[in-house]
Amino acid sequence: MIKWFFVFFGFLFFTACADLQREQHLGQIAQLHRKLDRIESTLPDKRLNEISAIKNNTMQTELRIKQNLHLDTIDIALAKRLDAYKLMRKSIKPMMQQYMQVREAINEEQVVLNRLKQDIQDGRGERQRYASYIRFERQKVKQISQLSADYLRAKEKFFADYARLYPSVEAFSRSLLQKKQRS
């Protein structure tokens, strides 16, 4: 009889401790949600609305240069600028893929965190493993944060390169077109 009392008391104590940690676990999940929201708030950029026009303009400029530049020799500075311009243009697609990866990862992680939160609130699953589940999700949020930082660096580099290269290369392509029309 006393043995059953201690077993029952031990079980009651163990489940009570798990329930005491419930609020701590829920707080940790709320913290992860806030971090995801901060990451998501850094993604929007008005310049991305113009990305298709930018891509189209850069491709037209490159095409004008290919069709109208007929030199046997080329200035090394111009060649470097044209090469950098081509690399900048080709970086649009990977940059947009990074953007989509970050957005999808954030959405997926929010769904997982919501499920985990609901499980903890309802006391479902293995209560003793909640802490390890939260640690795992914290690692995923860190990875999403790193993906986001990589994307933001790529985006800023692209727009800096675009602002630096496009006006001069566009002017050069127009001058080639004018030379061809005069001849």
pLDDT above 60 for 97? yes
Asked if residue 3 belongs to a domain, the reply is no
Q: How confident is the model at residue 1 (pLDDT cuts 50, 70, 90)?
A: low
Residue 57 within a domain: yes
Which DSSP state fits 75? -
Q: What is the DSSP letter of 43?
A: S
Would the CA dihedral through 74, 78, 80, 86 be positive or negative?
negative
For all residues of the chain together, what is the average pLDDT? 88
Residue 163 lies in a domain: yes
Q: Enter the pTM of the model.
A: 0.81
CB 88 within 8 A of CB 106: no
Residue 19: pLDDT over 70? no
The answer to whether residue 11 sits within a structural domain is: no
Block residue for tokens 């909640």: 130
Count of CA atoms in the C-beta half-sphere (13 A) of 45: 15
What are the pLDDT digits (tens) for 128-153?
Answer: 889 999 999 999 999 999 999 999 99
If one counts the domains in the chain, the total is 1
155-178, pLDDT tens digit by residue? 999 999 999 999 999 999 999 888
In a domain, 110, yes or no: yes
- Residues 6 or more apart whose Cβ sits within 8 Å of residue 12: none
Radius of gyration of the chain (CA): 28
Structural domain range at position 142: 21-182
Please report the pLDDT score of residue 13 as a whole number: 56
Percent of the chain with pLDDT over 90: 63
| Model confidence at 7: pLDDT above 90 | no
74 in any annotated domain: yes
Question: Is residue 10, in this structure, part of any structural domain at all?
Answer: no
In a domain, 48, yes or no: yes
